[in-house]
Amino acid sequence: MRIANTIAIALVAVAAAVTSSQAWANDAVKVRFSWKLKGEYAFFYLGRDKGIYSSHKVDVELGEGAGAQAALGSLVQGNEDVVIVPAIFAISAIQKGMPVKIAALYQPKTPFAFISHPDRPVTEPKQMEGRSLAVSTGDTATAYLDVLCKKNGIDCSKISKVQIDPQIKVPQFLQNKIDMITVYTNVDLPLIEERSGIKFAVLDLPKYGLSVPGLAAVVSDDGLAKNQDILTRFFSATSEAIDLMRKDPASAASALRSAWSAAPSEELIRQSVVATSLSLQAPEGHINGWIEENVISDAQDLVMSTEDGATRKEPSQYYTNALLQDR
């Protein structure tokens, strides 16, 4: 009888321990990037390595991607909880009926530019006339070239647009076979300049009116309805990770590099992290990622200017701030 009682007590203890463990287990959140690892993703790795996500009872799984469309498709299929893509691609997808929402917008303005060689610099829009520009599928800047031309009184017909494979545009540019290419100033530019040893001339596109919303987190409508508490904790942790990255870019660079096979130098990653930190802007008094309606409305105008059959929607159909607990 004593043995039976002892076994029963032990079984109760084990069951209680399992129940307690389950009650306190972290919730998993699967995150897919739209592309391969780069400096602007560093805050996610910093947050994971420093235990910020864990402190919010979240286990975050981070994965590389193969393009915004593939990431968004995987999200809708339920394979991911959050995808990190340029917001303009999400707006285009929602315009076409995809059941997703932008849940956080970290870059209200994409930090991109056209760069040119220092001996033939293009630093003002009018100087683009008579020059050649690489144009590639998925290149956001060249997709909205007509908008830039209109805003700055440029004759777009005087720009030689050269269709080129994205994989070879940098080599073609470095070989002086093309005058200008698009780069992300927080990611591509430091890398190209380090490898080439050249300081290129920069035409800052947001400065001249081409404001395209960039880095954003997107969730499915289904996930928004079913996992609001988990996702809210994820976004709170992500905001804290961004704040820490601003204070400690070296640690952010180190955290990313430890997860990045064939990574560039840690100093180069740190430069990218610092530049990214400057591009991540939130409205005063709001959490990182907070979305302003006018940014989405303006982006919808951009999409409608280039996509046939696009129809105007209420801005609220594109985004939600419901998962962002304010400061």
Along the 327 residues of the chain, how does pLDDT read in single tens digits? 445 555 445 444 444 444 444 446 899 999 999 999 999 999 999 999 999 999 999 999 999 998 899 999 999 999 999 999 999 999 999 999 999 999 999 999 999 999 999 999 999 999 999 999 999 887 889 999 999 999 999 999 999 999 999 889 999 999 999 999 999 999 999 999 999 999 999 999 999 999 999 999 999 999 999 999 999 999 999 999 999 999 999 999 999 999 999 899 999 999 999 999 999 999 999 999 999 999 999 999 999 888 777 788 999 999 999 999 876
At residue 153, the pLDDT reads 95
Longest alpha-carbon distance in the chain = 96
At residue 309, the pLDDT reads 78
Does the domain at residues 112-208 carry the CATH identifier 3.40.190.10? yes
> What residues does 58 pair with on adjacent strands?
27
Collapsed DSSP state (helix, strand, coil) of residue 154: coil
CA–CA dist 126, 181 (Å, integer): 16
Q: Are 112 and 185 in contact (CB under 8 A)?
A: yes
At residue 5, the pLDDT reads 55
Tell me the pTM: 0.88
- Assigned CATH for 22-109+213-317: 3.40.190.10
| Secondary structure element (H or E) that encloses residue 204, with its range | strand 201-204
Q: pLDDT of 225-250, one tens digit each?
A: 999 999 999 999 999 999 999 999 99
> What residues does 181 pair with on adjacent strands?
115
Domain spans in the chain, listed from the N-terminal domain onward? 22-109+213-317, 112-208
CA–CA dist 297, 318 (Å, integer): 9
> What are the angstrom distances between the C-alpha of 61 and each of 3, 20, 194?
45, 24, 31
Q: Are 230 and 82 in contact (CB under 8 A)?
A: no
Structure token digits, residue 71 = 């990431």
Closest CA to 40 of 205, 161, 190, 226: 190
Say if 22-109+213-317 and 112-208 have the same CATH topology: yes
CA–CA dist 210, 295 (Å, integer): 12
CA–CA dist 27, 33 (Å, integer): 19
Closest CA to 278 of 222, 324, 215: 215
